[in-house]
Amino acid sequence: MSYMAGCYPGLAGKRCKGHGRAEWVFPALPAFYRETLQNGENMYKSFLIKYAEIGVKGKNRYLFEEALVKQIKYALKKAEGEFAVRRTDGRIYVDALSDFDYEETVESLKKVFGISGICPVVYVRDEGFEKLGHDVVRYIGDVYPDRNKSFKVSARRARKNYPLNSMEINVELGAVILDAYPEMRVDVHKPDILLNVEVRDNIYLYSEIIPGPGGMPVGTGGKAMLLLSGGIDSPVAGWMIAKRGVKIDAVYFHAPPYTSERAKQKVVDLAKKVAAYAGPVWLHVINFTDIQLYIYDKCPHDELTIIMRRYMMRIAEHIAKETECLGLITGESIGQVASQTMASLAATNEVCTLPVYRPLIGFDKMEIVEIAEKIDSYETSILPYEDCCTIFVAKHPVTKPNVNVIKRHEENLHEGIEELVAKALETDEVIVVHD
Amino acid sequence: MEVYLDNSATTACFEEVAQLMHRILCEDYGNPSSLHHKGVEAEVYLRYADETFAKLLKVNEKEIFFTSGGTESDNIAIIGAAMAGHRRGRHLITTRIEHPAVLQPMAYLEDQGFEVTYLSVDHQGRISLEELEQAVRPDTILVSIMHTNNEIGAIQPIAEAGALIKRKNPQTLFHVDAVQGFGKSRLYPGKMHVDMLSASGHKLHGPKGIGLLYMREGAKVSPIIYGGGQQRGMRSGTENLPGIAGFAKAAELVYQDMEQDVDRMYALREKLTEGVRKIDDVILNGCPGREGACHIVSASFKGVRSEVLLHALEERGIYVSAGSACAAHKPQPSATLKAVGVEKELLQSTIRFSLSGFTTQEEIEYTCQNLEEIVPKLRRYTRH
């Protein structure tokens, strides 16, 4: 056998993975495709990659396509098998050059931003129109056990010397299908099944589109620094910005002995979840304990969190500028906690000159959790290790801090804080996190 | 300086034990069930281990069984006894301060329709024999009491309990979880009227993944693992020979000068408690002096979160446990500490120090010194 037995779901058609989240449904490998893999001589194994917004780009479109190809190649390193990624006729194909694991491959591709759809393609050899008709009937029979459906054939000829033109292929194949499956009907406006037939050296058949994550290829949008805390929100925020093609670096504030080594490991694990989509994440771990204790000693306790966050932003911005990041990313959402009220956000925002991206700003917790579950970071996020934002949190922290008051209280720190910040920056431990 | 004071979680392996295991893994790797020479060679190690434990516990070799660890031994003893005895009765007795390896099988049996009585303990963590006497009924099939508590080091009156149980109901089986007690005192199941006794290799400088279950001949207990019928059908599965031989070797070494070691550990424990007492607002849990285990000190530091103190000590190279290792990854407060009546505000402020034969005076001094330094500092920074 030429493929990994048991890797494919047994039934053709749609199947839910996980907990019935409709968006993540993907079709099984068609039985026919499986057979061609086993029996065919010149049968390739391939996926047609559909991309969304890149298509509308102008002269720099090639840059986006190249980035997408690069990201696809990177993602496929995780899947079993050898692949070639090629750009032809304005499309991207992923060809398997060896035995491969179908599900693993699809899963990997589903994590590449810029892909809007993944079409598993069946290649048949061109041995005359009659043979093509046979193949198409078999394809439909295998992929769609329930044939009470409408369909449309959409042919394209890249090889113009084919005896029939596109319109003729559409009509003739439609007739063959109707002959074989009288229960099916043609609908050229809103078909249930859109069967694509592309005539090239071989003939490509595909009708299923597995939804991709959308967005833009990572690397086309510059780089930003994510403040990663260990909670639910920050990995989701990083994922959302990465989705727009932005490469992600991250900073984590570690406060030993108040936070444990496991809390740090948890943050590395979360960075890994982001890296699954965004590529390698450079995670900066900063020892924040002394700054925190100093603020505790010198400032009113109900303002502790705000002042602490202002220093986190300052340090994050410092590292961001040094590493050529064009902005900061946080997981803040208005009103979620005391430090995320409009007034608090204004107070923390005030220390930065780089733009601070807050993609979750208008999201409810439930909406954030939904994405966290989708990107598989939720389970890690809810592990019970304390992060440095909560260890000294006051019972009643200020919810409407006044920037001027905060600034005045920060002056209490002037004696030692600069040295402590410089020291903290020296503790910067960089962990390159790969998925 | 590295000071490892988490020996109740696990211990460093004796070099000699590791060497023996290496030899069994790489050279004498046969399966004792094989008929050929390699198998016979392997069986020698098995017999060595059987004999060693039989001698140490003063029991018959046929009464020794090897498992994957303390947890499995407890599971076989409890679930196996319940399965075999459910026609005779459906009542079991245990204490409130058992290890989860006992409490969870008990909870499982409760789900299956068995009745379980949980004995209370006094503020030092000891059960009352009167309460036990009242609890034993004609339909009681098993009593399971731990020898030494893993969190506070309380030692139970096992021999008295054994005599009492047998007087009240000779049919009732008596199981003792001696995972923390084995190797710290001489335990003789025969004299103590104990029918089953669990022990674990890695708590006394042996390997992990190996446990011991002593089971009195004639005690009616069903296996819970079925297969190739190894170990007289009681525990199927190819014997973990490196583990078994390593455990036997470790036990042999520990028993060699157990009394001196235990005396030394009591002295170190005394020193440590003295040092801890010097700090304000500290409460020591468990039994003082010789009434408690020689290797466990449980102390509650008012106003300090145990996890923070643990990590602060860690920064100085001192490894301790918050509560017990088995409970440390769960956010709920320990059931044992609650049962002995530790105040609510101290539950999250409790640290366990556990010693071993390798612990030195210097290490204890270093620990006391650091505690004195760290605790007041941590108390300054608290949540408001």
pLDDT, mean of each 10-residue run, chain A (435 residues) = 34 35 38 48 68 71 89 90 84 86 89 92 86 89 87 91 92 94 93 92 87 92 94 96 96 92 93 94 96 93 92 97 97 91 93 96 96 94 75 81 93 94 96 92
B22 pLDDT more than 80: yes
Give the burial string for B294-313 (b: 16+ CB within 10 Å, else e): bbbbbbbbeebbbbbbbbbb
Last residue within a domain, chosen from B256, B276, B303: B256
Could you check whether A14-211 and A223-433 share the same CATH topology?
no
Cβ distance B321 to B6 under 8 Å?
Answer: yes
Structural domain including B31 reads 15-256
B194 pLDDT more than 80: yes
Percent of chain B with pLDDT over 90: 91
Select the residue of B310, B313, B331 nearest A384 (Cβ to Cβ). B331
Query: Parallel, antiparallel, or unpaired: how do β-strands B64-67 and B91-95 relate?
Result: unpaired
> DSSP readout, B89-155?
--EEEEETT--HHHHHHHHHHHHTT-EEEEE-B-TTS-B-HHHHHHH--TTEEEEEEESB-TTT-BB
Q: How far apart are CA A225 and CA A210, in angstroms?
A: 31
Last residue within a domain, chosen from B256, B278, B299: B256
Check B311 against A260: CB less than 8 A apart: yes
Sequence-separated (6 or more) residues with CB below 8 Å from residue B198: B70, B73, B74, B77, B175, B176, B177, B178, B179, B211, B212, B213
Q: What is the tens place of the pLDDT at every residue in B319-371?
A: 999 865 444 455 577 889 999 988 888 988 999 999 999 999 999 999 999 99
Check B383 against A392: CB less than 8 A apart: yes
Q: How far apart are CA B240 and CA B219, in angstroms?
A: 24
Least confident piece of the model among A389-403, B177-191, B235-249, B315-329? B315-329
Nearest to B27 by CA among B237, B253, B244, B242: B242
Q: Is the dihedral of CA A182, A185, A186, A192 positive or negative?
A: negative
Name the superfamily (CATH) of residues A223-433. Answer: HUPs (3.40.50.620)
Give the burial string for A148-185 (b: 16+ CB within 10 Å, else e): eeebbbbbebeeeebebebeebbebbbebbeebbeebe
Amino acid in the structure at residue A111: K
Q: Report how far apart the first and last C-alpha atoms of chain B are (Å, whole number).
A: 34
Taking contacts as CB-CB distances below 8 angstroms, the residues of chain A near B311 are 256-261
In terms of pLDDT, which residue wins out, B41 or A90? B41
Cβ distance B180 to B151 under 8 Å?
Answer: no
Residues B111 and B176 in one domain: yes
Q: How far apart are CA B31 and CA B163, in angstroms?
A: 41
Whole-angstrom CA distances from A269 to A110, A231, A356, A435 are 20, 12, 24, 9
Q: Is B26 a catalytic residue?
A: no
> What number is the average pLDDT over the span B268-281?
96
Residues B261 and B227 in one domain: no
Whole-angstrom CA distances from A312 to A289, A348, B168, B277, B383 are 12, 9, 67, 39, 20
Q: Is B153 left (phi over 0), alpha (psi -120 to 50) or beta?
A: left
CATH of the domain at B150: 3.40.640.10
B255 pLDDT more than 70: yes
B308 pLDDT more than 50: yes
Residues B249 and B329 in one domain: no
pLDDT number for residue A2: 36
Query: Parallel, antiparallel, or unpaired: how do β-strands A193-199 and A203-206 relate?
Result: antiparallel
Q: How far apart are CA B211 and CA B178, in angstroms?
A: 11
Q: Is B96 exposed, middle or buried (0-12, 13-18, 19+ CB in 10 A)?
A: middle
> What number is the average pLDDT over the span B119-139?
96
A301 touches chain B (CB under 8 A): yes
ipTM: 0.81
pLDDT number for residue B331: 58
Residues B215 and B299 in one domain: no
Q: How far apart are CA B150 and CA B336, in angstroms?
A: 9
CATH of the domain at B357: 3.90.1150.10
pLDDT number for residue A160: 87
Nearest to A323 by CA among A421, A224, A420, A239: A224
Give B382's Cβ-side CA count (13 Å radius).
14
The length of chain B is: 384
Amino acid in the structure at residue A140: I
Chain B positions touching chain A (beta carbons under 8 Å)? 307-315, 331, 381-384
> What number is the average pLDDT over the span B274-293?
93
Amino acid in the structure at residue A182: P
Check B310 against A257: CB less than 8 A apart: yes
Select the residue of A257, A261, A296 nearest B308 (Cβ to Cβ). A257
Select the residue of B309, B315, B383 nearest A256 (Cβ to Cβ). B315
Check B314 against A257: CB less than 8 A apart: yes
A383 touches chain B (CB under 8 A): no
pLDDT number for residue A141: 85
**Selected residue of A289, A290, A390, A391 to mutate for chain B interface (largest B Cβ count, 10 A):** A391
Q: Residue A10 gets which letter from DSSP?
A: S
Percent of chain B with pLDDT over 70: 97
pTM score, two decimals?
Answer: 0.83
**Which fold, A14-211?**
VC0802-like (3.30.2130)
Q: Give the domain ranges of chain A.
A: 14-211, 223-433
pLDDT number for residue A21: 32
Taking contacts as CB-CB distances below 8 angstroms, the residues of chain B near A395 are 383-384
Cβ distance B299 to B277 under 8 Å?
Answer: no
Cβ distance B41 to B180 under 8 Å?
Answer: no
Cβ distance A197 to A153 under 8 Å?
Answer: yes
- The CA distance from B384 to the nearest CA of chain A, in Å, is 5
Nearest to A150 by CA among A189, A118, A206: A189
Amino acid in the structure at residue B64: I
Residues B40 and B124 in one domain: yes
Q: How far apart are CA B283 and CA B383, in angstroms?
A: 21
CB atoms within 10 A of CB B17: 24
pLDDT number for residue A7: 34
Q: Report how far apart the first and last C-alpha atoms of chain A are (Å, whole number).
A: 31
**Selected residue of B311, B319, B378 to mutate for chain A interface (largest A Cβ count, 10 A):** B311
Residues B54 and B81 in one domain: yes
Nearest to B310 by CA among B319, B302, B301: B319
Structure tokens at B360: 């030195």
> DSSP readout, A272-314?
HHHHHHH--EEEEEEE-HHHHHHHHHHS-GGGHHHHHHHHHHH
The total number of structural domains that make up chain B: 2
Last residue within a domain, chosen from B256, B278, B305: B256
pLDDT number for residue A200: 82
Q: Is B56 exposed, middle or buried (0-12, 13-18, 19+ CB in 10 A)?
A: buried
Residues B208 and B283 in one domain: no
Residues B221 and B290 in one domain: no
Query: Parallel, antiparallel, or unpaired: how do β-strands A45-51 and B115-119 relate?
Result: unpaired
pLDDT number for residue A124: 83
Select the residue of B315, B381, B384 nearest A394 (Cβ to Cβ). B384
Helix (H) or strand (E) holding B350: strand B350-354
Helix (H) or strand (E) holding A254: strand A247-254
CB atoms within 10 A of CB B318: 22
pLDDT number for residue B178: 98
Amino acid in the structure at residue A122: V
- Longest pairwise C-alpha distance within chain A: 88
Structure tokens at B175: 């199981």
